[in-house]
Amino acid sequence: MAPRDDQRARATSLLAAHLLHSGLAATSLRQLAAAAGVSDRMLLYYFADKAEALAAAMAQIASDIGAQLADAIPLGPKLPPATLIAIAARITTTPDMKPYMRLWIEVVAASARGEAPFPAVARQIATGFRIWIEARLDPAGLPDPVGTAALILATVDGLALLDVCSEDGITERAAQAAQLPGI
């Protein structure tokens, strides 16, 4: 009905695809507008400002990640930390997940720099990750299950970070090492 809302939704999807493909490298207003197939003038008609456009795209991406994670490991019996680390490492190093994790690294850095809207976005996504892990972690015998969940999250994020700045193959070998007992 309202063309504006339709166009806004369409632009949001195109922006999300653009961010997944190019990261935060090309995020000027005009570049975003080009990616969304509209003029910069219209992008600012659909969204209040650049930050809102980015936030909308990131929200869609975050919901994608959530769905993918929920699909990958449905809620079931609680798992011990070693098992959960192994599984999480295997999932997040999947080629399908690579663009997501790469973007995630850039979002965290932009958040560290205080660049709107990324501090809020990063907090939201990190919380999503944390909840996913905590919901699947067996707390039995753990002195601090939240700390352990955070460690698992850190390990997974670290693998993603490694993937950005290392030669090919190293990340896979690290993920493999994460599946050994006693580490």
Partner DNA sequence: CCAATTTTGTAGCACTTGCTACATCAATAG
Partner DNA sequence: CTATTGATGTAGCAAGTGCTACAAAATTGG
Burial zone of 173 (CB within 10 Å; 0-12 exposed, 13-18 middle, 19+ buried)? exposed
Looking at the Cβ atoms of 74 and 114, the one nearer to its own copies is 114
CA gap 88, 1 in Å, rounded: 42
As a whole number of Å, the CA-based R_g of the chain is 18
Q: What are phi and psi of 117, to 5 degrees?
A: -95, 25
Task: Among 105, 116, 128, 139, indicate the residue that binds its own copies (CB under 8 A).
Answer: 105
Contact range with DNA by CB under 7 A, out of 34-42, 89-97, 147-155, 159-167: 34-42
Tell the smallest beta-carbon distance from residue 148 to its own copies (Å): 4
Partner whose footprint covers residue 178, from its own copies, DNA, none (CB < 5 to 8 Å by kind): its own copies
Is residue 61 within the footprint of its own copies (CB under 8 A)? no
Q: How many residues does the chain have?
A: 183
CA gap 127, 168 in Å, rounded: 30
Is residue 109 within the footprint of its own copies (CB under 8 A)? yes
Positions of E strands within the chain? none
CA gap 127, 181 in Å, rounded: 28
Tell the smallest beta-carbon distance from residue 93 to DNA (Å): 32
Partner whose footprint covers residue 77, from DNA, its own copies, none (CB < 5 to 8 Å by kind): none
Residues near 73 by beta carbon (within 8 Å), at least 6 away in sequence: 87, 91, 136
Site string for its own copies, 135-174 (x = CB under 8 A): -------xxx-xxx-xx-xxxxxxx-xx-xxx---xx-xx
CA gap 179, 183 in Å, rounded: 8
Binding site for DNA (CB under 7 A): 2-4, 7, 27-31, 38-42, 44-45, 49-51
Binding site for its own copies (CB under 8 A): 23-25, 81-82, 85, 102, 105-106, 108-115, 119, 122-123, 126, 142-144, 146-148, 150-151, 153-159, 161-162, 164-166, 170-171, 173-178, 180, 182-183
